[in-house]
Amino acid sequence: MSTLAGLHAEAVAHLATRPVSPCTECGTPMMHAEGHEAGPASKDIFTEVAADGTTYGPAVDLAPLFDPAANWLGMSNPYAYLARLGDLCNEATSAKRCETTWLYERTIREYVALKVRLDTGGYYHTHTPAREMWAYDPDRPPLGLVMPYHCGRPAWLRPPGWYCRECGDLLTDATAELRSI
């Protein structure tokens, strides 16, 4: 029978060597999963890593704002673009016309939307590899894999070991129930 440490080593080796599909948002080639710290109050997690070693990238819809030839104001970053939009809005309001024009309406809407997005940090995305939807097939034979269980649920694979999804305990050979799936 397998030990929990052996199962963990096999699962981590599989994650580190399996091919992963491109990012769903930007198409960046993804390489594999690596362990990363999730925060001070939680345990480590596996994160998908791109070929260039990053786990995030710029938002695809804001990419033209980084290229002066691709945006109508000729700016080289989203903050310069936002500042120029603000200047245009100020120029239009200082003209003190009775009615606003379609260009002013478009500009002010674009300014507000971009301002909110930049203030909330919404100009980057976390790489997520494209995956096919898993379909449940009740006639499918068991996979034949051995999986640790605790509190009636399958354990959660983390870089340091297997953790219970219910109580959060680090499982050992004595506390885990090994089941074939």
d(CA 18, CA 129): 12
Task: Write down the pLDDT at residue 82.
Answer: 94
Q: Are residues 45 and 11 in the same domain?
A: yes
What is Dmax (Cα atoms) for the chain? 82
Asked if the model's pLDDT at residue 15 lies above 90, the reply is no
Q: Are residues 106 and 138 in the same domain?
A: no
pTM comes to 0.50
Asked if the model's pLDDT at residue 19 lies above 80, the reply is no
**CA proximity to 16, closest of 48, 38, 43:** 48
Q: Are residues 43 and 131 in the same domain?
A: yes
Number of domains in the chain: 2
Q: Are residues 9 and 51 in the same domain?
A: yes
Q: Are residues 64 and 110 in the same domain?
A: yes
List all residues 6 or more positions away from 181 whose beta carbon is below 8 Å from its beta carbon. 142, 143, 144, 145, 146, 147, 154
Residue that the structure tokens 């990053």 belong to: 54
What secondary structure letter does DSSP report for 41?
T
Q: Are residues 118 and 64 in the same domain?
A: yes
Range with the largest mean pLDDT of 14-23, 79-88, 100-109: 79-88
Residues 126-176 have pLDDT tens digits of: 877 776 544 555 565 555 677 888 888 888 888 888 888 888 888 888 888
Q: Are residues 151 and 163 in the same domain?
A: yes
Q: Are residues 104 and 134 in the same domain?
A: no
Q: Which of 19-28, 99-108, 116-125 has the lowest mean pLDDT?
A: 19-28
Q: Domain of residue 104: give its range.
A: 60-123
Dihedral over Cα of 84, 61, 117, 102: its sign: positive
